[in-house]
Amino acid sequence: MPVSNASHVLVTGGTGFIGSHTVLELINQGYKVVVVDNLCNSCEEPLRRIEKLAGLDHKIPLFKLDLADRDGLRAVFREYAFLSVVHFAALKAVGESVHKPLAYYRNNIAGTLNLLEVMADFGVTNIVFSSSATVYKANSDGSAFREDSELGCTSPYGRTKLYMESIIQDVVNAEKGWNAIMLRYFNPTGAHESGLMGEDPMQIPNNLMPYMSQVAIGKLDKLHVFGTDYNTRDGTGVRDYIHIMDLAEAHVAALKRLPANQGYEVFNIGSGSGQSVLEMIDAMSAASGINIPYSKDPRRSGDIDTILCDPTKAADVLGFKVSRTLQQMCTDLWRWQTNNPNGYAKQ
């Protein structure tokens, strides 16, 4: 049975890029948040900055544990009565997953199984899951992906997301009272407008925008543009970008829908428009005032021309639409990068 006095939201992976910005938005919306994170690719500092931005007079509860630690997880559930869970915790580097598939399957899938089993034991049956557009099978015509588009993955990381979705769906179908929303992200970027919070890759960034911002500030020599002969308006790949704070707001919209008892639902979260790599370079150059150097390199295996989101369902059902522009994404990202050249590390 659901916990009758439940009042908190558990956020797994709540110190990461997307998780921390969502924690801030949840607190700003009046939710009581508890964070579980093993800090393998993050640190505690985002929570300290959230406390400052939200004007909290107390520390956000943080449990430094891995979802593989079932006993530790059960102790958290014994201490707090949770209404819902927002599940971010996972390894997420596509390239690394190709070289370390077992680590990704063990961490992402086994961790999710532990979480779901502990949730069931404590009667917590509402979950928002952090999924990805990588679950879709690549299309060749550049059409926008809908929630009913064909699924298929090209990396172990993508398959873990797809399998995790399937596991959650099976639980919802098998057990009464469960409600689950899968949010399939496209390309989150930007930072909090204060410049206090942003993406802090522990290694050389895997994604275009954090890599580009580190080139702009001088930490990396140049940007590599992989492929200039795609069937796009300027020959470079086109992707759908979304501001991190828009994405955080989407999680709040999903969380508010869970009590409606809709069972299992899937929503794409993106802007519905696409920018090419060269267009992103121009936008970031304008925001930073720096002419970002780049080289034209061969295509990477597996990359495709265009990946776009059809955001219609999220707008119609969740009432969610992006509100921030490409200029805001780049301006906020540059403010974060210049204010925090070493990320969350002490300056």
Q: Which residue numbers are catalytic?
A: 157
CA–CA distance, 25 with 252 (Å, rounded to integer)? 7
> CA–CA separation, 14 vs 90, rounded Å?
11
- The Cα 117–Cα 119 span in angstroms is 5
Asked if residue 146 lies in contact with residue 314, where contact means CB atoms within 8 angstroms, the answer is no
Three-state secondary structure string covering the chain: CCCCCCCEEEEECCCCHHHHHHHHHHHHCCCEEEEECCCCCCCCHHHHHHHHHHCCCCCCCEECCCCCCHHHHHHHHHHCCEEEEEECCCCCCHHHHHHCHHHHHHHHHHHHHHHHHHHHHCCCCEEEEEEEHHHECCCCCCCCECCCCCECCCCHHHHHHHHHHHHHHHHHHHCCCCEEEEEEECEEECCCCCCCCCCCCCCCCCCHHHHHHHHHHCCCCCEEEECCCCCCCCCCCEECEEEHHHHHHHHHHHHHHHHHCCCEEEEEECCCCCEEHHHHHHHHHHHHCCCCCEEEECCCCCCCCEECECCHHHHHHHCCCCCCCHHHHHHHHHHHHHHCCCCCCCC
